[in-house]
Chains A and B, each alone.
Chain A
């Protein structure tokens, strides 16, 4: 695992013992979430509590035109975590975490330990062609004990997810994700979405994954609805 730099035990001798212990403790404090994770079960969402505007957006949702999935675009952050039969790969570096989603070949780079978001945040997620995904916002992260915490702002309007339900997200939405291990081979992702325009209280979601038995693949999304041939 690519953790913090500076834990070269060989270079620390003879005074390295104390430093090595401290270094190892620092390393243990950072959870090892690396690996390829497979969708375990349907995520559990709280029942959305909509504002009048949120309800209006739900009521006007058109299943045929408002889901960008057919264009290989995630409707929101939840949609990326929700996709069954696909894997998520997590790579941890000293200054960032890279989360790759097989669905739509999304690559999300989350910078760590930043002093807040930039004034004009750019999307943290791009696809395999480098096209940005603004419906997944701009994320920064840090570690708290055994959890990776990620805060995301700067979302484009869309829907938290469009799989089985479609809670709308406005550009005012913010989210807080907490990723942790539940045992050695299980990953739990808990997300809270706060959107004063669409929800009267936070929408929460819990996703769970186990270690994938499959290799991480290139998804190769083909956009558009298929039409009958001439």
Chain B
């Protein structure tokens, strides 16, 4: 897991809080990429979410809470719900949250090459 990235982001948090007020104010703008397993998906409003388990080289497992858009937004934008299920192995891009162990889902690559975007729109 990229703990170094997390530390760097937290170190510049005051600047980020003032400078970046885009769609999700609770998350840094920078994205990270993690490979892991989806657990306990909850398709709810105002934020769908799941837990994400990332196995480290040293045998430890990091766990994250990953937020998505509201399920009503995902439904109306045509999100690929089948791609994110309990047990899914994905390579996920996400923005790190200001709260510990939180991420904002921005996209995922499935083992079969399927690309899942944050909103369900086709990948650019």
Residues of chain A having any CB pair with chain B under 8 Å: 63-64, 67, 69-70, 72, 84-86, 102-104, 162, 164-166, 214, 217, 219-222, 225-229
Contacts and interface: CB of A to CB of B under 8 A. Distances in A.
A63 B49 contact: no
B83 interface: no
Contact of A85 (B22, B63, B69): B69
* Chain A, interface SS category: loop
Interface string B12-39: 0000010001110110000000000000
B65 A228 contact: yes
A165 B72 contact: no
Contacts of A164: 21-23, 25
A222 B46 contact: yes
A63 B98 contact: yes
A222 B44 contact: yes
Given A63-B26, A222-B44, A84 B49 contact: no
Given A228-B51, A229-B51, A84 B73 contact: yes
Contact of A226 (B25, B42, B77, B98): B42
A229 B44 contact: no
Could you say which of B22, B64, B73, B76 has the most chain A C-beta atoms within 10 Å of its C-beta? B76
A72 B52 CA distance: 25
Given A69-B46, A228-B51, 6 more contacts: A64-B26, A64-B99, A166-B25, A217-B72, A219-B72, A225-B99
Contacts of A229: 40, 51
Contacts of B40: 229
A228 B73 contact: no
B17 A63 contact: yes
A104 B76 CA distance: 17
Contacts of B10: none
A226 B39 CA distance: 13
A219 B17 CA distance: 30
B26 A221 contact: no
Question: Ordered nearest first, which 10 A-B pairs have the shortest CB separation?
Answer: A85-B73, A63-B25, A222-B44, A226-B49, A219-B45, A226-B65, A85-B76, A221-B45, A63-B26, A228-B63
Contact of B72 (A102, A162, A166, A225): A102
A72 B45 CA distance: 9
B70 interface: yes
Contacts of A228: 51, 63-65, 101
B45 A222 contact: yes
Interface in B57-81: 63-65, 67, 69-70, 72-73, 76-77
